[in-house]
């Protein structure tokens, strides 16, 4: 079909992508190259290599992208204090541009005609993968099997696997998770099963990274996070790589019941979707970064950042990481981060993150001699406030007279 000779498939080794591998060969009579990214999902990836080999794949790419993922995608996003619709820390969204980039790069390296993914026609991921791929290679061909085939249920997929002898783990038969899950170093997401009812409370057994706040330790955990140019670089004075730092925060947050979220979000394709998320390290990092900015950023620069953030968040959620508008906003955001240097002290306790201290030796804008409630020795003339208030009240007074 359509002259496709070679396709690079984003491959996990699970049910969907194992079937897609076979389906691509049958439908397009093409060679399939598999690409599996390690972005911290916490699973052994060598089984994916073994499965691909068993299915006759000759070119298999399994890559450790954890440091690149956190350094070049997660950290830039957190410089903006990014939250989608007030709650979602974009754990799935931010991983997609990196995967799309590697798909396109591997396609160029291997001489492939197309790339393929296992995202469904109902979700956001199809948009994110494909917008990213087109932004990086406008001539790339993309094959999305879920928009072409008739295998539109789990039962049909399993039947197809059985018919064609495809070795897959079948969740209903092996006692695995009943949820649709996505995991990386930033989060785990859960969808499906009882979560399709927005009124139903999630089962406690669902959560994997975090203890319930009720079961968290009775004594708080105190930590200090050091920042350089807006990025976290150390915990309790111990320098760490980006991936190691986020992994450490995940463990600390998970042990204290931090980072659970249950929300209904607006997908880009138009529908509402209910999902649950665990983002322990991200929840800590967001709180710490905002605290560091509160001490070091100029008021108007900070407020302008806050105004940009919803647009920046929507750009990531909707798949526009590689767009000119996201890059423009990133340049402005990164400019502000040159002064975001210092240390934040936090208390982790039964699901909560509380800032209990912040300091910056070189870039603090907090002046105790001006802010003090004691005698400021003339550092601030309180009489100046009268003229300031009267000038700012002028339009209000004029308007009040007109009403009268």
When pLDDT is averaged across residues 117-145 and rounded to a whole number, the result is 96
Q: Measured between alpha carbons, how far is 97 from 53 in angstroms, rounded to an integer?
A: 27
Tell whether the model's pLDDT for residue 156 goes beyond 80: yes
When pLDDT is averaged across residues 157-162 and rounded to a whole number, the result is 89
Angle at which helix 299-317 crosses helix 324-336, to 10 degrees, equals 150
At 174 the pLDDT is 42
Of the residues 176, 201, 218, which one is the last residue of a structural domain? 176
Whether residue 139 is found in the same domain as residue 285:
no
**Beta strand ranges found along 267-341 (DSSP E):** 272-278
Catalytic annotation, pick one of 12, 16, 93, 274? 16
Catalytic annotation, pick one of 66, 96, 260, 326? 96
Give 299-310 as a DSSP string. HHHHHHHHHHHH
Tokens of 7: 């396709």
Determine, yes or no, domain membership for 316: no
At 152 the pLDDT is 82
The domain spanning residue 231 has which CATH number? 3.90.1260.10
* Domain tally, the chain: 3
Whether residue 120 is found in the same domain as residue 222:
no
Determine, yes or no, domain membership for 192: yes
Determine, yes or no, domain membership for 285: yes
Whether residue 226 is found in the same domain as residue 354:
yes
Catalytic annotation, pick one of 180, 273, 352, 364? 180
Q: Measured between alpha carbons, how far is 246 from 281 in angstroms, rounded to an integer?
A: 6
Determine, yes or no, domain membership for 333: no
Give burial (CB, 10 Å; 0-12/13-18/19+) of 175.
exposed
Q: Measured between alpha carbons, how far is 241 from 70 in angstroms, rounded to an integer?
A: 9
Active site residue 64: no
Whether residue 201 is found in the same domain as residue 123:
no
Which strands, in side-by-side order, build the sheet including 260-266? Answer: 180-183, 188-191, 272-278, 260-266
At 2 the pLDDT is 65
Whether residue 61 is found in the same domain as residue 151:
yes
Determine, yes or no, domain membership for 104: yes
Whether residue 209 is found in the same domain as residue 247:
yes
At 139 the pLDDT is 96
Active site residue 125: yes
Active site residue 180: yes
Whether residue 267 is found in the same domain as residue 167:
no
Whether residue 10 is found in the same domain as residue 62:
yes
Task: Give which of 58, 61, 55, 50 is closest to 22, Cα–Cα.
Answer: 55
The domain spanning residue 128 has which CATH number? 3.40.50.620
At 172 the pLDDT is 44
Query: What tens digit of pLDDT does each residue of 313-356 get?
Result: 999 999 999 999 999 999 999 999 999 999 999 999 999 999 99
Catalytic annotation, pick one of 38, 113, 125, 182? 125
Q: Name the pLDDT band for 238 (thresholds 50, 70, 90).
A: very high
Whether residue 105 is found in the same domain as residue 11:
yes
Structural domain boundaries, residue 126: 6-79+90-176
Task: Give which of 71, 142, 78 is closest to 333, Cα–Cα.
Answer: 78
When pLDDT is averaged across residues 216-244 and rounded to a whole number, the result is 98
| Percent of the chain residues topping a pLDDT of 70 | 97
């Amino acid at each position: 079909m359509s002259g496709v000779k070679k396709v690079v498939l984003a491959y996990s080794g699970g049910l969907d992508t194992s079937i897609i591998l076979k389906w691509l060969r049958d439908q397009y009579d093409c060679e399939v190259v598999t690409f599996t990214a390690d972005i911290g999902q916490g699973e052994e990836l060598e089984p994916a290599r073994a499965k691909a080999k068993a299915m006759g794949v000759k070119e298999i790419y399994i890559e450790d992208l954890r440091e690149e993922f956190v350094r070049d995608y997660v950290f830039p996003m957190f410089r903006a204090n990014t939250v989608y619709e007030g709650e979602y820390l974009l754990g799935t969204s931010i991983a997609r541009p990196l995967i799309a980039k590697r798909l396109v790069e591997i396609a160029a390296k291997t001489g492939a005609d197309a790339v393929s993914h296992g995202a469904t026609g109902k979700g956001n991921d199809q948009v994110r993968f494909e917008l990213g791929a087109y932004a990086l290679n406008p001539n790339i061909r993309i094959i999305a099997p879920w928009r072409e085939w008739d295998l539109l249920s789990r039962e049909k997929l399993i039947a197809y696997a059985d018919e064609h002898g495809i070795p897959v783990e079948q969740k209903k038969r092996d006692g695995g998770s009943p949820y649709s899950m996505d995991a990386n170093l930033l989060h785990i997401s859960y969808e499906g099963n009882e979560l399709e009812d927005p009124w139903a409370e999630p089962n406690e057994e669902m959560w994997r990274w975090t203890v319930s706040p009720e079961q968290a330790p009775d004594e708080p955990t105190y930590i200090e996070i050091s920042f350089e140019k807006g990025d976290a670089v150390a915990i309790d004075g111990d320098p760490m790589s980006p991936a190691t730092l986020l992994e450490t925060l995940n463990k600390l947050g998970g042990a204290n019941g931090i980072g659970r979220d249950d929300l209904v979000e607006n997908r880009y394709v138009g529908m509402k979707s209910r999902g649950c998320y665990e983002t322990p390290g991200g929840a800590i990092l967001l709180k710490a970064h905002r605290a560091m900015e509160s001490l070091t950023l100029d008021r108007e620069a900070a407020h302008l950042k806050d105004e940009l953030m919803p647009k920046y968040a929507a750009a990531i959620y909707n798949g526009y990481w590689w767009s000119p508008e996201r890059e423009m906003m990133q340049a402005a955001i990164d400019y502000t981060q040159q002064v975001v240097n210092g240390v934040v002290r936090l208390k982790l306790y039964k699901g909560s993150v509380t800032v209990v201290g912040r300091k910056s030796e070189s870039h603090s804008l907090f002046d105790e001699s001006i802010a003090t409630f004691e005698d400021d020795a003339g550092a601030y003339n309180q009489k100046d406030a009268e003229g300031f208030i009267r000038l700012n009240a002028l339009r209000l007074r004029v308007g009040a007279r007109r009403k009268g």
